[in-house]
Structure 1
């Protein structure tokens, strides 16, 4: 990416950051809508705040969760020391080139590796630009910046057709029917959306018997059936009509849960949906029904993360081992699936001890959920998630841990390598 000389461009712009030039209007019209991402802007000047305010009302940001704060780089570092970072941080700063890198160091310590950063500065300095890009900054713009410039920069990061999909796809499947994989998928999606304030889509792939609509007390007229049976219509606008809002950051692509037709699918039937979900939201959790068909194999081979849920008995152990072996061949260059042991300690049921269960698998589960018929039963019957029923329960804490692990966020808010975290290592060498 080559830096742009903004000195000529700024002469055609009005004081509120908008261009009066017809070419700039044409550039705005050519920009595509942004996906479901979260953006937090920190503004020092009133002009920048006006620009962000106008941008928040633009149709291209209809899916974006945008927050604007008056403050400097230090305010961003203080805020994110105790809160998750969004998909994009926009920082306005009047710092001198010699001090800007050092001012960003506290933010690097608390910034998630997947978070992108755009800086709007005061100095048209090519050396500064190169230094910032080397240190993990996504873009540097010389202020005052226009709405068209800022939107174009964000689009280049998140909408570039040649870039990898923004969103992360997580498939949850049971090693056997009735082991609670759907319950885990739904609580996991809810946890990701609430804990990290991340736009999340839960897609129920069990078309005949899906329970996501029941678990979230929803009755949508449309859902995933319309998408899978009409792939030629799939785009962001069509997906928006099919989604149901479950909470501030969680949307549901519900299954019809009807038996008015046979649900037989070709191998790649769900792949266009997965690709669209990845373009539309930072996280997509897929509730995959227990089975081993051409389309389930294709889904499990395509997603970023696989979670296998199992109960502690012999059939589950056999099936889990077979699935791990099969997925290793399907996904030779990917991380091994995550394992969750569910319904552990069910009264009067003979069980395999967790230690004995995982020994032949040669892997540690990311979570062990004890059997709790009252808590899970009450949640299911009331259309609520576990953390809504009892936020202080051990199950709610376990789902929080699951959300951290499957999204790659971990549990500790320490310096993270990659992205902005590279800055600390570079600073240490100076």
Structure 2
């Protein structure tokens, strides 16, 4: 019995089309599942195909639909095969009941496949009959590539460490610079104050500390301050040397020279000890001058011994006392004249004795004191001068030689003694100036 083939039903309208743009087109009625969108079309009705080969293939999905899973594609193929079998059998027998039974089975299979597709990540569809390609793996790095990568990492780490160290150094340096500036200012002020007060030792320590901590312009000022301290130190040392020389001159009985030496260097040496020594030298000069004046007064009174004693005191204070040399000559001349007068009077008394009455012989009168001769007097002056010259008392040696020349102006030994004393004195003065 031949049954007429029923015409294939037209694809029904989807009541709720897929939301994705790629799934918006309607599919064949035989497919009750949207495999690319993952939503089941529950109200789709299966269509009856005219023949087993009359069914057309579904439209190819666009590029965006390639992310569906392999399982969804297999489920779609299985659903289509089931629908094709159902359509072929219905074309031969033309019953409506089996067709109605096959549609729910296809719908159920499609729904299961869609549920699995939504639960798993979407993958690109693969052609039928081909295995899915394995996921790509990273190629193994060669030894050279690994070495290069490690070198890059090491360089990157070193660079980060260098940047960190530079940042830390900048922070520490900025804070240290401010602290050094404060220390520099304090040390410079301390050095200036100590230098103004005459404390050379403290000023030198503070100036040296300022040079060590100061920077830039402050360093130049600290160096100038240190140079000033060094000059002051040299000046102080020179003042100490001058002070020692002046004390030695005072001990040698040269108060006038000591006073002159101290006066010449008074501007550069103003310490208390130096000032006290200057006053001492000036007082010795004044005292020697007063002793010379007293000796002159005693000479006028014919007190030659007192005059000599006062003159000796004056020369002990100041061998260069003003007026001491002329006064020494005057005393020697007056004493020599007195001795000459005494000698003449004694000679005249012996030459003309007066007539005396005859009397018993009396005891002889004591012989008069012998008056020293001129040569003996000169010899005594020369001996005194030699002793003074050996003691480096050049003023006393010159005085003795001058006294000998006053007694005997043509005495060669006295003249040589005077020349030796003058040369020795000049040599001593040159030595002090060089020092």
Give the TM-score normalised by structure 2. Answer: 0.24
Which structure shows the higher strand fraction?
A: 1
Which structure shows the higher helix fraction?
A: 2
* Pair member with larger Rg: 2
